[in-house]
Amino acid sequence: MKPLKQFWILILVFCLAFFPNFSEAKSAQGIKSPQKLRVDGELTDVRGYNIEGYNYYRLRDLAKALEGKVDFSVTGDSKTITMDRNGRYKSFKGDNIGGERERAIPKTMNIRVKGENPVDIIEETYNIRGFNYFQLRSMGEILGFSVDYDRSKNEALITTSSKSEGQTPVAPTPDTPKAPEIKGRVVLGNERLFTEYANLIDGKRVGLITNQTGVDASGVPVAEKLKAYPNTKLVALYSPEHGLDGKQPAGKYVKSYFDKKMNLPVYSLYGPTRKPSREMLQNVDILLFDMQDIGSRTYTYISTLQNAMVAAKENNIPIVVLDRPNPLGGTIVEGFLRETRFKSFVGIDKMPMAHGMTVGELGQFFNREIGADLTVVTMKNWTRNMVWQDTGLPFAQTSPNIPNLESAFLYMATGSGEQTGIGQSEYFHWVGGKNLNSNEYARRLNASGLPGVRFVPAPKGNRGGVRVKVTDWRSFNPARTGVYTLAVANQMRPINVPECKRPYSMFYLIQGSEQMANLFRARKSPEEIVKAYEKDVNLFKTQRQAYLLYK
């Protein structure tokens, strides 16, 4: 046994000597950067590492340099870093380490920021000697400080809000929507149901279409509130795609079942039927709908609403929509109108990709062709120029691939390339495909001047791509960005455009327009594509006006 053991040790030594990657993850070399760092004009002793042409800074060093200006504590493990704005940085023994040249290991980390303006995103970092290093601009976007560079002095310049508060404010450009005046948090429709609109449910047997997003501002499910409400009887629940808990994968059938905890049947509207059947509606006097949409024509919760309205009409049952904010606000309308022949569960009505309406407004819009007995319990304090960050409300995961608010914003920006060879990853934070040069892709997208967003080169295996970073939630246009991510990739190398024939492929059901396919085949610029659908956008804006509930 001893000679055999020695043999394998020799083999291992040989592999380590001649194949160093055999024993370690792919890494890069970090070289101590000569670039200096100033915070609000004051020179610090913080130095980063230059890794593959970019300067990266250690998070703990930044926390120390920003102390008293942008305070936060840092905790974490190998997968997640948590920064708490209510805490302060604490140094510890061995905090200052690192040589002139170090091995830098790329890592994908979950970044969570607690306190004011919470953040939950995925960030690409490098790990050196157990510490995580970040690009400075990324940290600025996450923590709210601005970054500039003085190339003549080779200095990175951080300006915090504490410094800028004493400076003359700069007027916003006309293209950037102004932040709304907040008069208190938004009051959801489901919060008004049990007070001002209790007459709708008093003395009635209620069926509720909902999922894990159907909660009030405190996170209490409306199903539980209805169950406890003494003046009504909750008799059935109805679940959409992803199920009542929102955990089922996209496209997977959801089964009906009996919920023992609630002592209620849960009927699936994403199984053998996607419309409540007559049997499902037995003993129901009124149907309620409470689910969170994310502002896209292709998101199936609004299709469930439309089908439920048809069923309510057919069975002479009133239906009530408990209204909720459109996370993107109410002003972005973008994309071709869906053609009649491409009607599907990911395109239930003739709308642009981004409709700019709340679910209550969509209910009114759908009802132009249905004629259901529809009531919308409206919100208080919501206006069209509000994005979700202005509402004062927590955001609940809407589906497995939309775990947070940033993913909801990026859904249309990276997720509309079905069957093109250009796809999303990292919960819609990344977009790319094979035979794409990541650096050139990022350069072209950044050069396009799209507001509120920047693109960071991020190859992924054998695919080139970019990571999408939102820098201004109000000016960012997800649907238009989605046109650019596809059209720019198409100009670099042809994307796949399926033939337009029955049964129509998912490409046409998502895009909703053969004209879009023809523009891709002709390899038109994103600007030409946007111009081509301007007529559709203006037509829809005029049409939807009669159904809007908020200014």
pLDDT tens-digit map of 463-488: 999 999 999 999 999 999 999 999 99
Categorise residue 363: left if φ over 0, alpha if ψ from -120 to 50, beta otherwise: alpha
The pLDDT-based confidence of 15 (bands split at 50, 70, 90) is: very low
Question: Residue 280's domain spans which residues?
Answer: 189-390
pLDDT score at 171: 32
- Asked if residue 381 and residue 419 are part of one domain, the reply reads no
136 by Cβ neighbours in 10 Å (0-12 / 13-18 / 19+) ranks as buried
Tens digit of pLDDT for each residue in 417-446?
A: 999 999 999 999 999 999 999 999 999 999
The predicted model gives 503-527 an average pLDDT of: 98
The C-alpha atoms of residue 202 and residue 229 are separated, in whole angstroms, by 9
Residue type, 335: G
- Asked if residue 381 and residue 305 are part of one domain, the reply reads yes
Query: Does 172 fall in a domain?
Result: no
- Asked if residue 417 and residue 330 are part of one domain, the reply reads no
pLDDT score at 94: 56
pLDDT score at 92: 62
pLDDT score at 274: 98
- Asked if residue 339 and residue 199 are part of one domain, the reply reads yes
pLDDT score at 16: 44
The pLDDT-based confidence of 13 (bands split at 50, 70, 90) is: very low
The C-alpha atoms of residue 128 and residue 23 are separated, in whole angstroms, by 17
- Asked if residue 301 and residue 230 are part of one domain, the reply reads yes
Query: Does 164 fall in a domain?
Result: no
Query: Does 16 fall in a domain?
Result: no
The pLDDT-based confidence of 27 (bands split at 50, 70, 90) is: confident
Query: Does 547 fall in a domain?
Result: no
Given 112, 137, 159, which residue is the final one in a domain? 159
What are the φ/ψ torsions at residue 449 (nearest 5 degrees)? 75, 25
- Asked if residue 132 and residue 226 are part of one domain, the reply reads no
How far the first Cα of the chain sits from its last, in Å, is 82
- Asked if residue 198 and residue 137 are part of one domain, the reply reads no
The C-alpha atoms of residue 190 and residue 184 are separated, in whole angstroms, by 17
pLDDT score at 449: 95
Tens digit of pLDDT for each residue in 287-334?
A: 999 999 999 999 999 999 999 999 999 999 999 999 999 999 999 999
Query: Does 133 fall in a domain?
Result: yes
**Contact yes or no for 157/84 (Cβ under 8 A):** no
- Asked if residue 249 and residue 145 are part of one domain, the reply reads no
The pLDDT-based confidence of 3 (bands split at 50, 70, 90) is: low
Q: Annotate 271-320 with DSSP letters as a single string.
A: SS-SS--TTTTTT-SEEEEE----SBTT-THHHHHHHHHHHHHHTT--EE
The C-alpha atoms of residue 425 and residue 408 are separated, in whole angstroms, by 13
Which CATH number covers residue 240? 3.40.50.12170
Calculated CA dihedral for residues 284, 289, 291, 297, nearest 10 degrees: 120
Q: Which of 162-171, 217-226, 508-517 has the lowest mean pLDDT?
A: 162-171
pLDDT score at 12: 52
Three-point CA angle 524, 492, 126, nearest 5°: 135
The pLDDT-based confidence of 175 (bands split at 50, 70, 90) is: very low
Given 328, 361, 390, which residue is the final one in a domain? 390
Query: Does 551 fall in a domain?
Result: no
The C-alpha atoms of residue 373 and residue 86 are separated, in whole angstroms, by 49
The pLDDT-based confidence of 113 (bands split at 50, 70, 90) is: confident
Q: Which of 169-173, 214-218, 388-392 has the lowest mean pLDDT?
A: 169-173
51 by Cβ neighbours in 10 Å (0-12 / 13-18 / 19+) ranks as buried
| Ordered strands of the 146-150 beta sheet | 42-43, 36-39, 155-159, 146-150
Cβ burial 415-430 (10 Å sphere, 16+ → b, else e): bbbbbbbbbbbbbbbb
Q: What is the mean pLDDT of the chain?
A: 89
- Asked if residue 319 and residue 460 are part of one domain, the reply reads no
- Asked if residue 357 and residue 257 are part of one domain, the reply reads yes
pLDDT score at 204: 98
- Asked if residue 341 and residue 245 are part of one domain, the reply reads yes
Which CATH number covers residue 417? 3.90.1150.140
pLDDT score at 6: 60
- Asked if residue 349 and residue 319 are part of one domain, the reply reads yes
Question: Pick from 533, 443, 450, 454: which is nearest to 489 by CA?
Answer: 443
The pLDDT-based confidence of 9 (bands split at 50, 70, 90) is: low
| 497 or 55, greater pLDDT | 497
User: E strands of 339-450, at which residues?
Assistant: 374-377, 423-425, 430-434
Given 357, 390, 423, which residue is the final one in a domain? 390
The count of domains in the chain is 3
The token pair that represents 6 in the structure block: 């020695």
- DSSP assignment letter at 377: E
The pLDDT-based confidence of 28 (bands split at 50, 70, 90) is: confident
Tens digit of pLDDT for each residue in 197-234?
A: 999 999 999 999 999 999 999 999 999 999 999 999 99
Q: Which of 35-44, 72-81, 293-302 has the lowest mean pLDDT?
A: 72-81
The token pair that represents 515 in the structure block: 């004209």
The pLDDT-based confidence of 241 (bands split at 50, 70, 90) is: very high
| 395 or 126, greater pLDDT | 395
Calculated CA dihedral for residues 426, 427, 428, 431, nearest 10 degrees: 20
Which residues, in sequence order, are bridge partners of residue 466? 431, 457
pLDDT score at 63: 87
The token pair that represents 78 in the structure block: 């190998």
Percent of the chain with pLDDT over 90: 69
Query: Does 229 fall in a domain?
Result: yes
Query: Does 175 fall in a domain?
Result: no
Pairing between β-strand 463-470 and β-strand 430-434 as defined by DSSP bridges: antiparallel
The pLDDT-based confidence of 55 (bands split at 50, 70, 90) is: confident
